[in-house]
Amino acid sequence: MANIASAKKRARQAELRRQHNTSLRSRLRSAVRDVRKAITAGDKQSARTVFQRAAGVIDSIADKNIIHKNTAARHKSRLAARLKAMA
């Protein structure tokens, strides 16, 4: 454990940041799961709506550097391909 005041503060800040990042990452996974669930349900219109919402969440999390921008693009691309394959 840290003994110096500045190190204690950094440890507190790091813990808060870790918790925040974890909640954002959870939002990302939930959004992706919702899209996959809508696609397997077979309702293309609702799947498209859920995908648009998820794309916003994915972009938002990538902007905050929680995930890399290429990872975000890959997630969106794969979901879009699944959505397109529903036809």
Quick one: average pLDDT of 54-70?
A: 97
CB atoms within 10 A of CB 57: 18
CB atoms within 10 A of CB 75: 21
Residue 75 domain-assigned?
yes
Quick one: average pLDDT of 22-26?
A: 97
Residue 28 — pLDDT band, cuts 50, 70, 90? very high
Residue 1 domain-assigned?
no
Q: How many domains does the chain fold into?
A: 1
For residue 10, give both structure tokens.
């950094």
| Enclosing domain of residue 73 | 7-84
Quick one: average pLDDT of 23-31?
A: 97
Residue 45 belongs to domain with CATH number: 1.20.58.110
